[in-house]
Amino acid sequence: MRVDTVHFTASPLHVWDIATIHPLGGLNPPGHVFPTDHIYFYMHQDASGAPLEVPLFSPGNLTVVNVSASQHVNAGFTDFTLEMQPCADVAVVFGHITSLDSEVFGDTTSFTDWTLSNEYSTGGETYRLWRRDMSIEVTAGQRLGTTGGRWGQFALDFGVYDRRRTAEDVANPARWTHSRVLTAVCPLDYYAEGPLQATLLDSVESDPMLPADERCAKVFQDVPGTARGCWFAKDVLNTYPEDPHLALVTSNLRPWESVLSVGTSVPGLPSGLYTFVPQAGGLVNRTFEEVSADGAIYGFQVNGFEGVILLKMSDDVTLWIEAVPGGSVVPERWTFTSIKAVFER
């Protein structure tokens, strides 16, 4: 997608520190049931498999407007997030920052003068969430800190949100009013055409046959009136956390595959990703955009589940799903029971 103004002229990581870039629309349920609104810069790993800690740079001439910190009290480390702006309409967000350079941000080992926004404990860890508003000018290529170096944080999150653009064909925009996801765009579109953008696009893990301007994939895949896209557990009003919900989409890494991204609301089907190669006809493994409220039950044989997963749209905004272990692939034998899960747009 062409943008009105080129904002970025530097890579956030040295190009030799980039192992791969994952495009928009990543899936990692239950935390990321829905396609993600940011891309991932993966670092190379050491012999143990841990990501290397590498320098982090500003991609353009930006203003840092706030810093947030997730303090892992027991583990003894802090995970930082930066929000920056090249202009009033565009927000640039880096997530999973290991350290911030004191020459730019001052002392970030102490949270004096920061605002404590939340504190909670789960899984044996206590988290303190801090935030500090700032107004710091940084230039393209200026070092901001480091990323990587910790197990479980293998990539830098890189998100761009442009208020001049809004996602189209969203089945129910009201579901997303409390986030910026409708304005999420591909950060790589904000580089000028040239060697750097070409190098970054070549690092994107995607189908090599795709044109360069399609490699960054997309966030929303809704096709209203069909099964394709994001679905919300019945009677769950909150979009976030995403854990209870469901997405029926195309893989952002392998566009020839369809994916059931399953949260925690389908009995007998553990949260995870279930893939298959879609078919353009019939009732088995039908492509999601051809599943509609036509009265039919569709069955899916997927990687990671022994049996059949049944889908039916009871109307244009309601979806039934049921996992049948060892179930028959003969459509005449398919029927829903009382354990089916119901999702809504």
Q: Which domains does the chain have, with CATH numbers?
A: 15-214 (2.70.70.10), 229-344 (no CATH)
In this structure, are strands 229-233 and 246-250 parallel, antiparallel, or unpaired? antiparallel
Element (H, E) at 103: helix 102-105
> Rounded to whole angstroms, how far apart are CA atoms 226 and 316?
7
The whole-number pLDDT of residue 215 equals 84
Residue 4: pLDDT band (50, 70, 90) is low
Measured over the CA atoms of residue 28, residue 32, residue 36 and residue 37, the dihedral's sign is negative
In this structure, are strands 307-315 and 155-162 parallel, antiparallel, or unpaired? unpaired
Percent of the chain past pLDDT 70, that is, above it, reads: 99
Indicate the Cα dihedral angle 56, 59, 63, 64, nearest 10°.
-30
The whole-number pLDDT of residue 1 equals 47
Q: Which residue has the higher pLDDT, 105 or 211?
A: 105
Q: Does the pLDDT at position 85 exceed 80?
A: yes
Whether this prediction's pTM lies above 0.85 is answered by yes
- Convert the pLDDT of each residue in 25-75 to its tens digit: 999 999 999 999 999 999 999 999 999 999 999 999 999 999 999 999 888
